[in-house]
Amino acid sequence: MSIFKGSGVAIVTPMRDNGEVDYEGFAKLLEFQIAEGTDAIIVCGTTGESSTLTLEEHAEVIRYCVKTVAGRIPVVAGTGSNCTETAIHLSKEAQESGADGLLLVSPYYNKATQNGLYAHFKAVADSVKLPIILYNVPSRTGCNIAPETILRLCTDVENIVGVKEASGNIGQIAHLAAIGAGMEEGHSKVDIYSGNDDQIVPIMSLGGIGVISVLGNVAPAQTHEICQKYLDGDAKGSCRMQLEAMELCNALFSEVNPIPVKKALSLMGMIGGTLRRPLTEMEPANVQRLEKAMRGYGLL
């Protein structure tokens, strides 16, 4: 059974000016997401600056998120690492905290082989009972999870259920959908989520069941509706909303994520825009582009 369908927000981790996690601001964001109809919270992912959180902070942010959400929608915890033992440790911590599922990014920098990826993900999955979504984002990790490897993991390992596909390679995603289809009548063996906000509808048209979204941080109701319309059979309406969001989607990736989305939330008065180094403040020209896109989308 799928962990969720629809729009899962890859939520930011607010920081205070002194660099500490802003838990008060985080609670505000979580309540905003739930009130606006987001279908799931994905905490401590790329957008949550997980790579600069200490292990203690990482575990505490997940605990706080689970406690604050209090079962109202699923919480999926990002617990991936390029060290298998670290990923196992974080995954066990998330399970103990009450997370509903895990998101495991492919090991970065190591550039494992496909057999190495299989062994890594299986070892983490075998250490917990939670359902797991793999995260394929080769532009950040330098390592692509092949469709055959994803299908093999979803077939062999009971609690690996899907993938967040952020390769941007529609042909590869179509191949995954094709080889994963037909395992059960009317149900793919692999739950596919778009990992790119500009490809929600294209990926759902290939059998995807939703998105893990950056856009959802600032436009949760609209991102939910893009997915829900498609799930309800209104492909044209979903496509129209996807196209209306394109200028904002592009502006949110005019610099490396999560720099623009944190600036956007700051412009909306939701949180401060503080980032942890090595991320730095957004360039003025890109701030102007972002503001223009937000005004055009009705957010300012």
Confidence band for 37, pLDDT divided at 50, 70 and 90: very high
Beta carbons of 195 and 189 less than 8 angstroms apart: no
Looking at residue 272, what is its pLDDT?
86
Angle, in degrees to the nearest 10, between helices 170-180 and 147-156? 30
5: CB partners within 8 A, 6+ apart: 39, 209, 210, 227, 231
Q: Is 257 contained in some domain?
A: no
CA torsion sign, 281 to 103 to 136 to 223?
negative
Respond yes or no: is residue 164 known to be catalytic: yes
pLDDT > 60? residue 182: no
Tell me if residue 17 falls in helix, strand or coil.
coil
Which structural domain range is residue 38 located in? Answer: 6-235
Three-class secondary structure assignment of 25-64: HHHHHHHHHHHCCCCEEEECCCCCCHHHCCHHHHHHHHHH
Q: Which of 164, 229, 262, 263 is catalytic?
A: 164
Mean pLDDT of the chain: 96
pLDDT confidence of 187, banded at 50, 70, 90?
A: low
The pLDDT > 70 percentage for the chain reads 98
Q: Given 5, 28, 135, 297, which residue is catalytic?
A: 135
pLDDT at 184 over 60: no
Report if residue 173 sits inside a domain. Answer: yes
pLDDT of residue 211: 98
pLDDT grade for 114, boundaries at 50, 70 and 90: very high
pTM (2 d.p.): 0.96
User: What CATH number does residue 146 fall under?
Assistant: 3.20.20.70
Per residue in 277-296, pLDDT (tens digit) is 999 999 999 999 999 999 99
What single DSSP character describes residue 198? G
Annotated catalytic residue 135: yes
278 preceded by a cis bond (ω within 30 of 0): yes
Assess if residue 70 is contained within a domain.
Answer: yes
Please check whether residue 241 lies inside any domain of the structure.
no
Give domain status of residue 268, yes or no: no
Q: Which two tokens stand for residue 256?
A: 């490396």
Question: Total structural domains in the chain?
Answer: 1
Any domain includes 112: yes
Whether 92 is covered by a domain: the verdict is yes
Residue 249 located in a structural domain: no
What's the rounded mean pLDDT across residues 20-35?
97
Residue 213's pLDDT is: 98
